[in-house]
Every structure is written in structure tokens, then in C-alpha cells.
Chain A
Amino acid sequence: MTQRIPVVENILNANDHLAQENHTRLESAGVFSINLMASPGAGKTSLIEQTLPRLKDKLRIAAIDGDIATSLDSDRAAAAGALSSIQINTGGNCHLDAVMLRGALDQLQLNQYDLLLVENVGNLVCPAEFKLGTHKSVLIASIPEGDDKPYKYPGMYRGVDALIINKIDLLPYVSFRMDFFQRGVESLNPGVITFPLSCRTGEGMDAWINWLLQNSTK
């Protein structure tokens, strides 16, 4: 005899639940935390490298880097002045999830930090579906990727709390219609705070640094 059982359970529930636990831990330790997401090569590690020297006298900063393989990125974060820098190798996984972040948080004395920068795996689709429990999600777009990305990867653009437009030093060399790009962003994520900047020249970095500083010392 067949019986139908109502379930109505969110399939990502287990992850969401752990993300909530991570959030509580970070919150009670007083650590402001950022989930940095972007396609491969958009400049996530470069942004961490540029951010650390500008803030390390004001904030105690830890970095966590998610990559499919190698510890290259966490080495770069350590070299740039992160007090602690932890590498998560996802073993082929295309995104970080709340379990992986929890494992990394276990390795940190959380109350010794004010700011935690988490670099997600380079990918413009999957990380959007997996909450980590960080305070803010930040997407880094970059000029050479092209101005159509909001239209092609709406899921990622929709969910983020802040948007960085990196590599603006390359604007003279590539055709990038900023108005077309920003119209796409606006339709998916109305009013999202945006920081156009260059990790190469440092242009635009101040606004981003101030935003981090304001949020971290709240």
C-alpha cells in the first residue's frame, strides 16, 4: 500500500543550519566576516593582498582561502600580513560550504580577530547556493570578464551585499559598457553598494577599506 508523506523540507537545510551556527560563532566572538566570491582570476586574492596592508594596524585580520588544490592563495594572504591564514582544499568541490568553513573556524582562536576574509572557490555559479554564515557576501566582478556577466549569472549577482568592480585600470583597453553592466546589476540587486577599484593601481580602494572598517568596528 502506497502512502504519500508530506516533507516540504529545503534540500539545502543542513547547510543553512550549519551556516547559522557559523554565524552565531562569528557574531559572539565579535568577528566581522566576508565571503568573497568571483570567477577564477577576477582578483579575490589580489583584493585580500591589497586590503591587508591598509588595515592591519587597525584591525586583527584572518584569512581563509578555498581552492580546489594548492595553498598558493593562503600563502599570498600570509605574506600580505594576515595574522592567520588557513587554506581549505575542497578536493574537487566547486564551492565552499558551511561544513568546510566550520572546519576552518575550528583552527582559529576567533576572539583574537576583528575581521575574517573568506575567499571562496573561483566560480560564478555554485557559491551563490551555499551560505557560509558570514556577515556579508561580496562579489568581485572584473573588467576583462565582460559587461554581460550580470545577465548571464543572475543568481550570483542577486544575492550579494556588496559588489566590487575590479581592474578598472583596464577600462581603456577593453570594451566594457559600464552603463549596460550597471543596468543589469540594478535590475537584479537594486541599490547594492558598489566599489569600482583597481588592485593594481590602488584607485578606489579607500571606499572599500572604509566600508570594511565601519562594519568591523560596529
Chain B
Amino acid sequence: MKDDRTNAGARPLLEVNGLTMRFGGLTAINNLSFSVQPGTIHGLIGPNGAGKTTTFNVVSGYYTPTEGRVLYKGQDISGLTMPQVAARGLVRTFQHSTLFQEFSLLQNVMVGRYMHQRPTLLGAILGTGAKAARENEAKARETLAFFGLQLRAHELAAELSHGHQRALGMAVALAAEPDMLLLDEPFTGMNPEETRQMMDLMFKVRDRGVTILLVEHDMQAIMGLCDRITVMNFGQLLVEGAPKDIRNDPKVIEAYLGGARHVA
């Protein structure tokens, strides 16, 4: 079933070509190329500091790449701003729980609805956007319910446990109705049971037609979820393949052990 999804013949949804990102003298990404097929969950893994988050930052428009191109739906999106990239249907989450802490859960998700609501000042004053606002609120509540957070809609985001905050971060992104989600370590702070539930939700999201690019250190989650995995090390592509190949690849094991020694 899984292998059917990695239909190599189809046009990739996301293509990263010869991407290089330098910060002064530090090369965070070095000539990286990989592609993500539509309708798949694609893993991007590597030891700490490999450049995964930086890759996300470049793809999502937070940074402009030093060299190389990012193609999304066949179009060059390198150099676009984050809102412009989001408007094309590519939405990312952040590695550290990035939420509107002072907002209620519902308000957080409502911000995710922004692109679909396009509120105007005049509409706000005249109250003409009321119907759209109600529809968007309904959508936002639906998204909360999808993550099992509907009963806490009016609590403040700051009051959630870390795991729930990660879920809310995904809810905000999903509320924007993206075609592709970039998730940066969504399972940190979750206990094994929460991780398992979240994995089920990921499959559901994918089955809705959303393509997922996933950065995660939890190897069980990665191996269980991904159709295909790209491994990075020191900003470069190490190997790419199906989970079972990656698991046993000596280069990957070496990189992780080496990386572990670095970190320790």
C-alpha cells in the first residue's frame, strides 16, 4: 500500500534543486536536492544541526536561498515571502511551540483561517463579514475537533501541555487548508500514547490529500509514517529511500552515531 504512493513517474509536488544556504562562513545547506511526491508523507531526518530546520526555512520563504531553486507545483518559489508561499498552499509549523500564547485555542486556529477569510476594515466596521466570520469559526472548531481539542476551545493556548501545544500548532497550520504541510518535529513533548494518536491523525490528513514533509527525531514515528525518507548530514544529502532501506543503511547509522557523539 505504502509503496504505491511513491509513484516515481508522477510530477513531484515539491522539488529542491541544488539548494545552498550560507550564513556568513557557515554553510548550513550544501547543494541539497530531493523531491516530494504528492499525497505522500516524506521524512527529512538527520543528526542535530544537519540543516533540516534551515531547509524548512528556505522552502517556506523565511530565507532566500544563497543558491539553488525550490519548485512547488512546478513553479519556482525561491525568494517568495512566507505569506506568498502560504498563499500557494504550502504551510509550515515551527520547531519550537510557536503559538499565540495569549489567545484562546479557537482564536489561534482562527488566525490560521486568515487566508480564507480575507477580512477587511470596512467589513469589520459595517459588520458585512459576519457570515464569513461564522463560517470560518465553524471551520476552526472543526479543525480543533480533529485534534481532539474542541472542549478546550476557550482556554488559553499557554495553559496547554507541551504535547497539546504541538497539536494546536498543527491545527493552526491545517486550518489554512494547505496542499502541503511542513512539520518540524511535531512529536516532541508527546508521550508514546499521544504520539500514536498523532500518527493516526497524520494518516488522516494525508488521506485528505495533504502532502506532508516531516522532520522528526522519533525514529519509530518516522519509520511508521513515512513513505519515503531523505537523510541529511552536515547540510548535504546523505541517502534517500524507503524506511526499511534507511533503517539498515550503514551510512545513516554512522551519521547518527557520529552525530550523537557530537551532541553528547
Partners in one complex: no
Binding site for A on B (CB under 8 A): none
Enumerate chain A interface residues (CB-CB to B < 8 A). Answer: none
